[in-house]
Structure 1
Amino acid sequence: MWTLLGKLLGGLVGGVRKALPDRNRQNDAQSRINEAEVSGAPRSFLRLWRAFLGWMLSLLFGWEVVGRLIVIPVFFPDWGKELPPSALDQIMALLLGMLGLGF
């Protein structure tokens, strides 16, 4: 009786496994599709433009947060009075929009 029950449960578990998709095979297939799409894509000026904009916005964000708030007041306290007003709001709006996070 136990062997019959074991076979029945084993068949049930095997059937459920076959019904569920194999994630490793799906991930491998998606990776091959992504590689094929990228390899066939022409070199685009738009990719360079976005990369340049991303680096510039990241550098500006770093300046506004680290440079303006930490480095300048600690090492150059007299320069803080001569700096233009902060543009962190505009930088954050552009950077978050570019990252798709909304603003």
Structure 2
Amino acid sequence: MALWSSIPILGDLLGKIADKIAPDKGKIIDGQNRINEAELSGAPASRLRLWRSFLGWVLALVFAWEIVGRPIMATYYPEIILPPSMIKEVSHLLLGMLGLGF
């Protein structure tokens, strides 16, 4: 009879171990949402979003330079020596910021 009475204790113990090994996705998302809310409540909205929008505009301008400006400069002003193209790095950063890269 002692074996049968210990089964609920083993079930609770195994449940706690399973929660440590494979945590619930809903709990993780709820925790991240609480962290995001705490960040937003403590800082002014303009300062919190300023760096992201600034980085987006800078990367978009550099990307436009690499796609449009550089070929025009190389075609019409061949005497100007341009630095090597950084399109691979710029596109990697821009796509990563947009959530499309890796």
Q: TM-score, normalised by structure 1?
A: 0.53
Deviation at 1:73, TM superposition (A): 2.5
The answer to whether residue 98 in structure 2 is matched with residue 102 in structure 1 is: no
User: Aligned residue for 2:57?
Assistant: 55
Unmatched runs of 5 consecutive residues or more in structure 2: 1-36
- 1:94 partner letter: L
Distance in 2, Cα, partners of 1:102 & 1:74: 31
Letter in 1 for 2:58: M
Q: Which amino acid aligns with 2:68?
A: V
Give the aligned partner of residue 86 of structure 1.
85
CA drift of 1:46 comes to 2.9
Q: Return 5+ residue gaps in structure 1 as ranges.
A: 1-36
Query: How far, CA to CA, are the matches of 1:44 and 1:72 in structure 2?
Result: 36
Residue-by-residue CA offset, 1:20-64 (whole Å, 9 max, x unaligned): xxxxxxxxxxxxxxxxx9xx9641523110000000000000000
Q: Corresponding residue for 1:68?
A: 70
Work out the CA distance in 2 between the residues paired with 1:72 and 1:88. Answer: 15
RMSD over equivalenced CA pairs, Å: 2.1
Percent sequence identity is: 56
Over 4 Å off, 4+ runs: none
**Size of the alignment, in residue pairs?**
62
The TM-score with structure 2 as length reference comes to 0.54
Q: Which residue of 2 aligns with 1:29?
A: none
| Cα distance in 2, alignment partners of residues 67 and 45 from structure 1 | 31
> If you compute each CA radius of gyration, which structure gives the higher value, 1 or 2?
1
Amino acid of the structure 2 residue aligned with 1:56: V
